[in-house]
Amino acid sequence: MKAPSLTLSQRLLLLTAVALLPALAILGFNEFSLRKTREAEVHAYALRMSELAALEMQRILTGAGALMVAAANAPVVLAGGPECQGYMDRLGALLPQVMVINITDREGNSVCSNSHDPDDLRPAESAGVRKALETDFFRVGEYVETSRGPGLLLGTRRTAPDGSVLGYVLAAVGLDYLGAVLKDRPDLGGGAMTIADRNGTYLAREPQPERYVGTKISESFMPRLQGREPGTLQVVSADGSERIVGYQPASEALGLYISAGLPLGESMAPINEASVRSLLLAGIGGVVALLLALSFGRQFIRRPVLRLLGTIRAWRAGDHAARTGMPRGRAEFHQIGQAIDDLLDELGERQAAQAEAEQHRDLLARELDHRVKNLLATVQALARQSLKEANVPDAPLQSFYNRLAVMADAHKLLTAQSSESADIKAVIDTAIGPFSEAERPRFTLAGPELDLHAKAALSLAMALHELCTNAAKYGALRNEAGRVAIGWALTDGRQLVITWRESGGPAVDVPTRKGFGSRMIERALAADLGATVNFDYAPDGLVVTIIAAETALAGRQVSGAGPFHPISAVTRRA
């Protein structure tokens, strides 16, 4: 997978973001731990509130039980008669929270009571409590309806001095009183307190008692109501709010289910606010860190990098005096800057040495050209002197002089490299000039106008000069009838094809070995034209085909094109 292309600033921001990940992970873990700790605190608080409410109810009901025991042992109650009924009326007036107090025999029939409604005194209403009192001295019963409103039934035994059961004392504590007790408890901040009997009937609830009292608790709560151990749970309560509930099961000695529910949202509000603040601060801190990374990155990283790039670009643009100027030191950028400066110094020295070598080479080339010209002039002078003494006619002598002049021009083309390009026809004319005769043309040229770059022109001139020399020695230019046709063209594939075709010369023999001239043609053309060379030694004349790359043309040369890879010439017999 290809790596994305990122700017230095983007890389710095990405690096900073990655560096912030551990801090964000720690922040997330701390938030998670705080929430779990807070949830545990809320669970513990809800359980504690239910325990306190249970203790409060136990105090109230235990007091009511003590009052019932005292009433059971009052002399007027023991004596029975009209005085007992009057005593119950006075006792009910003094204790309004006890709506009904009833003294019964062992079968539950009323002996005396502060209620005169027969439905309040039915033995069937107290059957469950009386049965439990066979083993218990005091019993908290269930929800009961009375003529004075709903209440919680309580019961205790009446015993004779010998311990035998004479009957029971039954009382109904008003649920309004129990509700008032819950309402006076500390506010749970939107929570709810519930009291239910062992059958799951609501006895009191805050808030909204009018909605729940007398109704059955949800079936989902029954396993907790009938359980053995107090506990907590997170639930959606009957009013639709999510709460953490601490509860005391009805299996406890009190016989009542008591719960305290705390609203989860309000209980977790401080943590949620702290989380929002933490996230906000983390976000601000992250943005500040990214901005600082961007600012410091531009100052301490991007600026040195741009300084290095600017130095390299200035050097490539021709300012060879450009240097980074970074001091030596342990800092990586300083080390890179010093390495670039050292490299540029070395390149400058190499360029100076190369320029000096080129100047020396040009001097030697000019000296060689001068000496060759002097040599040719000397040859011309010697030939004039010798041929004059031999009484050679002027026409052949002038032809010889002209050929010497053409050879000098060809030598000048082969040694001069100051030109950027040359016309291909001019190159060919110059190369074949020493072997061409104006009065009797031996060469035919055909092809479009094309310009070759300097190195390609020089190599082609050398190759054609060598082919002319070989033709003069062994081929078509050896006799008077021989001819040479030179053609060139560009193919659809943008290749330059040059053809040398001899005809009319002596019979052609395939050489047994490759001479210096053939090797020189292959190497020079392969190196400077990227060309392949095909030698076809046909019986009626040599055919040489040169296929060069488009980079041989002026304006199409690619830097470094035409590496030296000698390609063997193809030799075949037609």
Q: Return left, alpha or beta for 189; rule: phi > 0 is left, psi -120 to 50 is alpha, else beta.
A: left
Cβ count within 10 A of residue 348: 14
CA distance 378 to 388: 15
pLDDT at position 565 is 34
How does residue 409 score in pLDDT terms, banded at 50, 70 and 90?
A: low
**Mean pLDDT, the chain, as a whole number?**
78
* Domain contains 515: yes
Cα 59–Cα 61–Cα 64 angle in degrees, nearest 5: 110
Q: How far is CA 104 from the centre of its chain?
A: 84
CA distance 144 to 176: 13
Helix axes 8-72, 269-297, angle to 10 degrees: 170
CA distance 533 to 519: 10
At position 80, the amino acid (one-letter code) is G
- Examine the fold and report which residue of 222, 253, 281 is the final residue of a domain before the chain moves on: 281
CA distance 310 to 312: 5
* Domain contains 70: yes
Tens-place pLDDT, residues 555-570 = 654 433 333 333 333 4
Give the pair of three-digit tokens for residue 370: 């001068």
CA distance 336 to 327: 10
Residue 499 above 80 pLDDT?
Answer: yes
CA distance 143 to 214: 8
Q: Please, which residues bridge with residue 104 across strands?
A: 110, 168
pLDDT at position 498 is 93
Strands 202-206 and 98-105 come out as unpaired
CA distance 534 to 532: 7
Residue 270 above 90 pLDDT?
Answer: no
As to burial, measured by CB atoms within 10 angstroms (0-12 exposed, 13-18 middle, 19+ buried), residue 119 is exposed
* Domain contains 439: yes
Give the pair of three-digit tokens for residue 515: 């001479």
CA distances from 197 to 200, 201, 327, 490 (A): 5, 6, 89, 110
Q: Return left, alpha or beta for 447; rule: phi > 0 is left, psi -120 to 50 is alpha, else beta.
A: left
Mean pLDDT, range 491-515, rounded to an integer: 85
Mean pLDDT, range 272-276, rounded to an integer: 72
| Cα pseudo-dihedral 208, 210, 211, 215, rounded to 10 | 130
pLDDT at position 485 is 94
* Domain contains 342: no
Q: Please, which residues bridge with residue 155 across strands?
A: 139, 170
Phi, psi (degrees; rounded to nearest 5) at 259: -135, 150
- With the C-alpha atoms ordered 202, 208, 210, 211, is the resulting torsion angle positive or negative? negative
- Find tokens 């669970």 and name the residue: 43
- Looking at 324-333, 514-523, 556-565, which range is the least confident one? 556-565
- Examine the fold and report which residue of 240, 255, 281 is the final residue of a domain before the chain moves on: 281
88 near 114, Cβ under 8 Å?
Answer: yes
Tens-place pLDDT, residues 12-71 = 777 777 777 787 787 777 777 777 887 888 888 888 888 888 888 888 888 888 888 888
Cβ count within 10 A of residue 353: 10
pLDDT at position 444 is 92
Cα 183–Cα 186–Cα 190 angle in degrees, nearest 5: 80
pLDDT > 90: percent of the chain? 4
E-strand ranges in 12-164 read 98-105, 110-113, 138-146, 149-159
Buried b (16+ CB within 10 A) or exposed e, 434-467: bbbeeeeebbeeebeebbbbbbbbbbbbbbbbbb
Greater confidence (372 vs 311) lies with 311
CATH number, domain of 506, equals 3.30.565.10
* Domain contains 11: no
Q: How far is CA 113 from the centre of its chain?
A: 84
Residue 241's Cβ-side half-sphere holds a number of Cα atoms within 13 Å equal to 15
How does residue 545 score in pLDDT terms, banded at 50, 70 and 90?
A: very high
CA distance 554 to 573: 35
pLDDT at position 189 is 63
* Domain contains 59: yes
SS3 24: helix
Greater confidence (570 vs 443) lies with 443
pLDDT at position 448 is 92
- Find tokens 């030598």 and name the residue: 411
- Total count of domains within the chain: 2
pLDDT at position 557 is 46
Q: How far is CA 307 from the centre of its chain?
A: 30
Tens-place pLDDT, residues 210-239 = 888 888 888 877 888 888 888 888 877 666
pLDDT at position 420 is 64
- Examine the fold and report which residue of 258, 281, 304 is the final residue of a domain before the chain moves on: 281
How does residue 103 score in pLDDT terms, banded at 50, 70 and 90?
A: confident
pTM for the whole thing?
0.51
* Domain contains 476: yes
Q: What is the DSSP code (8-state) at residue 555?
A: T
The parent domain of residue 115 ranges over 38-281
Give the pair of three-digit tokens for residue 37: 């700790």
* Domain contains 189: yes
The C-alpha R_g of the chain, in whole angstroms, comes to: 61
CATH number, domain of 221, equals 3.30.450.20
